[in-house]
Amino acid sequence: MGQRVFVTGATGVLGRRVVPRLVEAGYSVTAAVRSEAKAADVRAAGATPVLVDLFDRGAVRAAIDGHDSVAQLATSIPYGPSAGTVEAWRTNDRLRSEAAPLIAGAAVESQVARFIQESITFPYLDGGDEWIDEHHDQNYFWGNECTVTAESAAAGFTAAGGVGIVLRFALFMAPDSAHTRNFVAAARRGLFAVPGRRESYVSFIHVDDAAAAVVAALDAPAGTYNVAESDPVLRAAHCAALSALVGRSDLELPPGPAAQGDGGENSLARSHRISSQRLRDVTTWTPTIHCVEHWEDLP
């Protein structure tokens, strides 16, 4: 039997790609699920499901025991108009501010060797045309400040003697993602769904490449790593690709709150030319998908 990996968020848009990749790579995978219907999906992918409440420390401790690594990928990111409300982010906040440290602590108690925590690149300050690495300054607001706690959980795992990994993902692109479908729906209405300046950068990561990064992180040294496409382009290029897809001449970009300064609530309006060079330097991972060329693949 290969190394044992415990995965949370296993049936989400990222997790349902990570699990089969781990199985194919020879890992023995246990996946946390919340229903028998989801358990069937996990079994079909070659993994073993376990029904567990991620906010129940005892249950999590029992489920994790005996594993070599934990990949904490559980998220609940809202989209569309509801994403502007505090209530819509409640579950995601709890997963990162309560469940992440609980799971990391249980992993320490179970003497798990490695803990991987999903995070985001959005809090980075506007970088203009410059590349943004993991040391770039950040700020937060109520919609993403929970990532501080989640990332601290991974750092605490390292401090306790394990290998704690934070993967900061750029915007996901996936044909089965509600967020990606929202981009296309907005384009049909004449809008590009991410506010900001047309001449500013926006970084995506195709979820197939993101899943490969999670698997690669099982061999990475402790630390924080950006996960983004290798060649992000300007918003103008994405507008051109999406407008061609939906049969429009061009798309408008909502200005968003960027005009009011660089507070954390302006995260998505910033220019983000994200570099993933650090992860590429320490693993065999490299992104293979240039996202601006793949809007046409979406249903």
Single-letter code of the amino acid located at 52: V
Please tell me what DSSP assigns to residue 125: P
Query: What is the pLDDT at residue 77?
Result: 78
What class, spelled out in words, does domain 4-297 have in CATH?
Answer: alpha beta
Query: What is the pLDDT at residue 259?
Result: 42
Q: What is the pLDDT of residues 165-182, one digit of tens each?
A: 999 999 999 988 888 888
Taking Cα atoms as reference points, which of 202, 201, 220 lies closest to residue 212? 220
The per-residue b/e assignment along 231-260, b for 16 or more CB within 10 angstroms, e otherwise, is: ebbbbbebbbbbbebeebeebebeebbbee
Single-letter code of the amino acid located at 90: R
Taking Cα atoms as reference points, which of 57, 18, 23, 15 lies closest to residue 215? 18
Q: How confident is the model at residue 297 (pLDDT cuts 50, 70, 90)?
A: confident
Please tell me what DSSP assigns to residue 8: E
pLDDT beyond 80 at 47: yes
Q: What is the pLDDT of residues 94-116, one digit of tens each?
A: 999 999 999 999 999 999 999 99
Query: What is the pLDDT at residue 89?
Result: 80
Q: Please indicate whether residue 204 or residue 142 has the higher confidence score (pLDDT).
A: 204
C-alpha angle 292/298/299, rounded to 5°?
160
Q: Tokens 């199985």 correspond to what residue? A: 23
Query: What is the pLDDT at residue 260?
Result: 46
Whole-prediction pTM: 0.95
